[in-house]
Structure 1
Amino acid sequence: MQWTRLQAARGSSARTVPALLSTVAWADRETARQAVDELGDLVCELGFVVQEAAAPTVPFLIELAGAPHVTCKADVLDLLRKIYTGRQWSAASKAFSSGHRTRLARQVAWEEAARNAVLAGQHVYEGLTASVDPDVARAATDLLRAIADAQQSAGAEKGDAS
């Protein structure tokens, strides 16, 4: 993966993503939590603006969520939920004229790719709902609920369009 070529928040590159993922994987709890916060700032700015680097980051976040040694799983799951529910570009695209929609097509595609990447880890989240750590179980349940709610809303929109 050429992280330097991927766009992160505020037009920066995603070059620091691998180091942050490593920190999440192997650091003490507080340092790992700070790394998750920094990752969130890069790939899902403000907690709802999905960036190009989000989708390539998600498989690593899923792996971290399922890894037994990771100390901040609830934070990782919360970040995955934010990435999944991030719809800023889609909402802006719908609000603008067709000319502006075309300009936002790339960013809307980032959101869709990121959502699809998050969906690929559903089996991991389902397993984590039974975690002995109540924060992890809650975060996994919240993520699955966000997925179900979004899918239900998408189904309702398709029904309205028919």
Structure 2
Amino acid sequence: MNRLLSKSHSLITTSERTAKAVAKSRLVLKERNPRKGTKTFGAMIEEGEPVKMGQLIWNQAQNQNGPWSCLPGANAEPIFEMGWNEFTNKKGIYALCDGTVRYTKEMFIPAKNTRLAGEITKMPAGSFIYKLHCHVVPKPINNNFKLVDLS
């Protein structure tokens, strides 16, 4: 009987400890989410802001199966990874070098035998499709070298 009481007493104390640990972990999770309350799709970096290599410029995760709302331009690379849940899905545009972000509207010519190519034939003559493109203008390279020692 005494042995059973000691086991139940230890179970109660461990459950109290885990409840405190759970409360602490919830607090930590709230503090660790820096993007809470910010938008999770669209332009992550605005026009003219500096960007580092590998940084996410445009997040397209909202529209997984539809067309891209922003296309990659110079020094920008599209990334598309399908994971096993919504948190691992990545679809966006990343910077290939350090520099400044620029957005431009450019004329879009779709590939043959695509849905958009069929829609263009139904448009009035002389009309164009313009799409948003994201470019990274690299930092200027400094080529000033100094000869230290000839021998």
**Alignment TM class, shorter chain as reference:** under 0.3
Whichever of the two has the greater Rg, that structure is 2
TM-score (normalizing by structure 1)? 0.21
Which structure features the higher share of strand residues? 2
